Structure 1
Amino acid sequence: MRWLVGWSSTAAGALGGSVAHDGRHDDDAPYGGRVGDDGETLQPVGSQLLWGDPDPLWAVGDWRPDEVRVVKADAQTRVAVLGTCGATDEQLRVGLFAARGGALRHLTAWPGSYTAIVQVGRRITVCGDLAGARPVFHTPWAGGTAYATAALPLADLIEANLDFGHLAALLAAPDVPAALHDSTPYDGVHRIPPGHALILRAGAREIAGYEQVASLAVAAPLADPDSAVGAVRDALIEAVRARLAAPRHVPDIDPGPVPGMGPAERRAARGMPVPGIGADLSGGPASGTLALLAAGLPGMPGTLLGHGTGAGERLLAVTFNDLAVGGREAELERAGSLAANPRLHHVVVAGGEEALPYADLDGPLTDEPGPSLVTAARHRARLAAGSADHFTGYGARQVLDAHPARLADLLMDRKRRHLVRPVAALTKADGSVLVPARVYGAARRLARTSYRAGVEGLAERLLHRSFGSDDPSGAVGASLAALTWGGAGPAARWLTGEALAEVSVRLQGAAHRTGVGPGQRPGDYRARAALARHAMDLRVLEQAAEIRSQRLHAPFLDNQVVRACRALPETLRVQPGARAAILRTVLKGAGVTDLPPGWGAPSQESVTAAARAGLRMAMDPLLTLFEAPLLAEAGLIEARVVRKALRAAAAGEPLPLDGLADLVSLELWLRRLLSRRGTCWTGTPARARAVPAGIAPQRRAVSSGG
């Protein structure tokens, strides 16, 4: 786990910083530090100081040397970029000068995935990304503001307790930004929304958006589909090229031969990835596109010479074959056809019952909870066979596909004829002649419903436990449930009435406090919320399934790729098979035309089958987990209700398995958090850490009349 942390104090020298001989603060002085009760200097454990007082900044964790860059214009002006960034030092300097004048968007326009921090005098600017995969957190502290790219270090710093309202919202309405707002699992630690920057001036904080705001007075120009797809192609190629241009890293030195073990076996026994670059090759369009682009673009070899049997080959392609659950034969066949490319070295990882969801309930503590905690072992088995730099197709569905609520956007733009093909596809999947009328009616209602009315309607449904309209059954049911401003989460049905009432109060307050934003329609709003939710869970997955010395790269979540995908016309997005068609065009523009038959065909059935099989296999440990759950102690669930639901789901009843994954993952995360004994800081009084009192629910808003 890697993160950065710093703070902005109220006054220069307030935290014990050094002062120059002429009375001015010396920005190049080392960190003077805030001294703890035992005379220790307060600083993060295992950190490297990027700049010192009065507003210090640290990088914490196993950062590679090329992932941490600091460029200075003068003693008072500098920029730090952490992560994979394709900008040169001169481009960073130009972006620094632009940010000094207030133009923050320049800091997010380079290819790659990174976090940029700018210091201009006492003004600190920290830019988050558009997707939410690189979030920024902040909290009031010592009369100023502390910030970080992880929430747990800030929670340790202020000894934060759990925010049970946030945990309830994660279960009841995880895809509704109004329910979560800027909260985190830790009370007092806040998150800035995607597409925004945190600006600190001598301890005072401001949150500002850096993206262009749509105009309500002037209609946006019509986007040309060909040029929009071309922009997506260029952005993806630049994102892949930025990773190829980065230095290669050898994870570890092979200690030497072991009798009966080859280099691959020795590396697997140590849990180390293959040196070089690799990619997932699941047979789907997203991973296949990245693998073929990485194999075809000029750059350094994917596998380093002298390391392993595939030395010097272009790219290591990894395919996961689930032996416990079938249904992916067509995808595996397509992956094998793609792997016939001589530039690819294909590795198939076979997973049995030990790789099913819920099979391994042990794991590391992550910064936040997420449903991927129950599948971390499954992903770790695949990633362990991957490379030190590994491409994944995560995020392609969220940035390229059309959220069903975009049908309402088309009606608002008077483009009814473009609804014909998506509605016809739903009718074909369902087989009912009533589907067109139901879908059109739901889209029309959403187009005529204001944001405030939609959020208040969801709050009312949660308060009265009315989940009928939020229960998706099949493609048509899922589409109808998504044609709202916000829906209840799959785990909401198992929450207590008090927890649902708490979330209802949060929604009602948000409906009166904030709006959806100027010029934003329901489809665009729901799509951005779904992307932020997916990016947050990917961040949890990276931490839960982390392989030492390995970096996961998700180019579809890069700022430039997200921007290019958002510029795609809605009339193109909503067409059936649009994602596969767009990626096919991207590959054709890059010179790849030989794709296997059926490439891009959707396949989600095996995911549900694997989840149900994992529930059956892990039924006894799961029932033990919910004998005396911490969620029940916090007042969010009743243990017997969840145990009954687990048995019913394992028996094959049509229950939302995603909701059970949310409950199990949150319970696992709470247990790991409370069993933690360390802290992220040295010099804190009595080794202060987050949640010092354990599960101690505070007075609810519904019980206090708030």
Structure 2
Amino acid sequence: MSIDRGECRVVEGRDRTTVLIGHCFADDDLVRVRSGDLRALMSLPGAYSAVVVRDQQVGLASDASAQFPLYVSTSGGDVVFGSRAHAVAEQIGVRLDLGHLAAQIVYPLVPELLVSRTAFHGVRQLEPGAALRWSADGMSRMTATPLTAVADTTFDDCAEELRECLRIAVSARTSIDSKMSSDFSGGLDSTSLAFLAAPHNEAVPVVTYAQDGAPVDDDLRHAELCGRLDPRLKHHVVVGTGEHLPYQSWPSAAELPHPSYLAMGPTRLRVAAAASLGAMVHLVGEGGDLVLGAPLGYFVDLARHRDFATLWQRCSAWGRLRQRSPLALFRKSVALASTNRRQGLTGFVRQLERAHPESFVPSWEEHNITSWGVPLCDWLAPRAREALSRQLIAAAEDDDRMDACDRTTLVQLDFAGATQRAVRETGAAQGVEVHAPFLDSEVVRVCLSLPAWRRCDPTSPKPLLRKALAGVVPQAVFGRRTKGDYTVTSYQGLRRNLTALRKMLDEPVSAEIGLIEPVRVRRALERAARGLETAWAPLNQVLAVELWLRELTRGDADV
């Protein structure tokens, strides 16, 4: 067992030991009472993973976004687990999983490849909300936190439960010894958290970020408006300079490759402002967009479940919003619904072999209305394509009963958890605990208990949050209909650091191990430098992997 002691709490019981990794806001006595049942243990307030040891039996349970991940290896017949993937890999011999690294770049919506596997061969991550138990009788998997819809859940009941979960999530983080602050982006999520925090504090510093030369005026105007609605909210605007743009000041030792580390400048500045105002706990809205909305793969699920009336209504609404033909969206959804797992994954494999024009960026409907995703780029080297194809074909044989929306949600939850890890580490470096209440396991469970098509509405952003916090958060907070777009800062940051990025891609380690075709990636970089439409997700992932590999290969990892 290898557990990071940074955010670790040990609760000793009469016949078992419980290790909580993360933020659990229940007292030790309640933890002892719940520790005999992993599902009951994981329903306490907070975001945390757990290890329960009793005699010759061990149980592991992951939080609902794997923000505090647990990794397991069963290589050689022994079970090795821990909270650091590299530490587990060192126990069995560090070898890279080329197929997983390739999957992170082209992004098939297959949790078995993107979530369960890691960058290290033979090291698996426990999926969000999952549990694992083993003893002398063998190993079994189970659910610790349900992350799928509950058939008889009503919208009103879900909203009422969410209201209580968010109230507990915020109040539990309030301490008379620790001043609390909050992001205040102008969006619904962080703004709502700030208003929930206000009754528990005499004053709550709230921080809005603006980039010099590229301010998002809608965000600033709405943040300033909302900041005047409660005198306990003390609004501060911090202005980022060129030093806070993406693609610079990246960390030297990220646990696993993740693109969020490329753009931590705004977070550093916001947390620094919070620290200077005396805050020790800072709230962020990370995860809100995910749990309060839904991937549009639910179009495919509506077709598969033959709810054509609802499907047509949603196709019409999204068609108007995105200027697309509702009939084309409807037909695409019905066609995808008739595609089984084997057909979908073998189709993805065939698409991997296709060359794209340099200007290729998946269309909105290709990227969003999908069961298994489409390759986001054609930059993989032959060796990586072969490794990923083998994994996809093997996964095609698995039994799959998950809806398309649930698969995508699981992948996105894992991504959100990794993003929050980067944010949390950035805050810790400045002595501030950064918390994301929307990623608390009970908050995630409650939101996802409502069917996807009822969680989101193209004509009314985040209806579940509006209903849940009506009368608690001023109605003016929910009056906004736009969402800030920060893409321009990606272009600015890339141009500012173009020399360093070019040098990184001149002789990339990722090409040496057979992961990418560097010429194609360099062309994509130059297109972005010229301000042309760019496939940002795969480009950022390639850069994140390259930085991570450079640090890792100092220890001579094998492929």
Whether the TM-score (by the shorter chain) exceeds 0.5 is yes
What residue is the counterpart of 1:642 in the other structure?
Answer: 521
1:668-688: CA deviation from partner (whole Å, max 9, x where unpaired):
11112234xxxxxxxxxxxxx
Q: In the TM superposition, what is the alpha-carbon distance from 1:407 to its structure 2 partner?
A: 1.5
Structure 1 Cα separation of the partners of residues 193 and 356 of structure 2: 43
3-state SS of 2:234 partner: strand
What residue is the counterpart of 2:48 in the other structure?
Answer: 114
Q: 1:289 aligns with which of 177, 192, 195?
A: 192
Alignment pair present for 1:224 and 2:87: no
Q: 2:336 aligns with which of 446, 465, 470?
A: 446
Alignment pair present for 1:567 and 2:508: no
Q: Which has the higher helix share?
A: 2
Structure 1 Cα separation of the partners of residues 251 and 503 of structure 2: 17
1:538-587: CA deviation from partner (whole Å, max 9, x where unpaired):
32443366424322111111111111101224442242155433222222
What residue is the counterpart of 1:308 in the other structure?
Answer: none
What residue is the counterpart of 1:193 in the other structure?
Answer: 127
What residue is the counterpart of 2:72 in the other structure?
Answer: 138
Q: Which has the larger radius of gyration?
A: 1
What residue is the counterpart of 1:461 in the other structure?
Answer: 351
What residue is the counterpart of 1:240 in the other structure?
Answer: 170
Shift in alpha-carbon separation, 1:622–1:339, aligned structure 2, 3 A: same
What residue is the counterpart of 1:557 in the other structure?
Answer: 439
Alignment pair present for 1:379 and 2:267: yes
Structure 1 Cα separation of the partners of residues 288 and 185 of structure 2: 13
Structure 2 Cα separation of the partners of residues 485 and 194 of structure 1: 20
| Contact 2:184–2:208, Cα closer than 8 Å, also in 1 | yes
3-state SS of 2:79 partner: strand
Give the partner amino acid of 2:287: G
What residue is the counterpart of 2:388 in the other structure?
Answer: 503
Alignment pair present for 1:483 and 2:369: yes
For residues 133-172 of structure 1, the aligned pairs below 5 Å read 133-140=67-74, 144-172=78-106
What residue is the counterpart of 1:602 in the other structure?
Answer: 483
| Contact 2:259–2:544, Cα closer than 8 Å, also in 1 | yes
What residue is the counterpart of 2:5 in the other structure?
Answer: 60
Structure 1 Cα separation of the partners of residues 181 and 218 of structure 2: 22
Give the partner amino acid of 1:592: V
Q: What is the root-mean-square deviation of aligned Cα atoms in Å?
A: 2.7
For residues 17-416 of structure 1, the aligned pairs below 5 Å read 60-61=5-6, 63=7, 68-72=9-13, 74=14, 76-96=15-35, 99=36, 103-140=37-74, 144-173=78-107, 175-180=109-114, 182-201=116-135, 205-211=139-145, 221-244=151-174, 246=175, 248-249=177-178, 276-296=179-199, 298=200, 301=201, 313-326=202-215, 328-340=216-228, 341-358=230-247, 360-386=248-274, 387-416=279-308
3-state SS of 1:626 partner: helix
| Contact 1:293–1:587, Cα closer than 8 Å, also in 2 | no
What residue is the counterpart of 2:502 in the other structure?
Answer: 623
Alignment pair present for 1:516 and 2:411: no
Shift in alpha-carbon separation, 1:134–1:458, aligned structure 2, 3 A: same
1:437-476: CA deviation from partner (whole Å, max 9, x where unpaired):
11001111122222232122112211344799x943xxxx
Shift in alpha-carbon separation, 1:577–1:323, aligned structure 2, 3 A: farther
Q: In the TM superposition, what is the alpha-carbon distance from 1:247 to its structure 2 partner?
A: 6.5
Deviates more, 1:556-565 or 1:86-95: 86-95
Structure 1 Cα separation of the partners of residues 244 and 373 of structure 2: 32
If the length of structure 2 is used for normalisation, what is the TM-score? 0.91
Unaligned runs of 5+ in 2: none
Q: 1:586 aligns with which of 460, 468, 481?
A: 468
Shift in alpha-carbon separation, 1:578–1:248, aligned structure 2, 3 A: farther
Structure 1 Cα separation of the partners of residues 512 and 59 of structure 2: 40
Structure 2 Cα separation of the partners of residues 202 and 548 of structure 1: 45
Give the partner amino acid of 2:9: V
Structure 2 Cα separation of the partners of residues 540 and 174 of structure 1: 23
3-state SS of 2:540 partner: helix
Shift in alpha-carbon separation, 1:364–1:507, aligned structure 2, 3 A: same
What residue is the counterpart of 1:632 in the other structure?
Answer: 511
Give the partner amino acid of 2:350: E
Structure 2 Cα separation of the partners of residues 467 and 197 of structure 1: 44
Identity percentage over the alignment?
Answer: 29
Give the partner amino acid of 2:251: G
What residue is the counterpart of 1:684 in the other structure?
Answer: none
| Contact 1:452–1:515, Cα closer than 8 Å, also in 2 | no
| Contact 1:143–1:203, Cα closer than 8 Å, also in 2 | no
If the length of structure 1 is used for normalisation, what is the TM-score? 0.73
| Contact 1:197–1:209, Cα closer than 8 Å, also in 2 | yes
Structure 2 Cα separation of the partners of residues 122 and 231 of structure 1: 38
Aligned residues: 553
Give the partner amino acid of 2:260: S
Structure 2 Cα separation of the partners of residues 248 and 142 of structure 1: 49
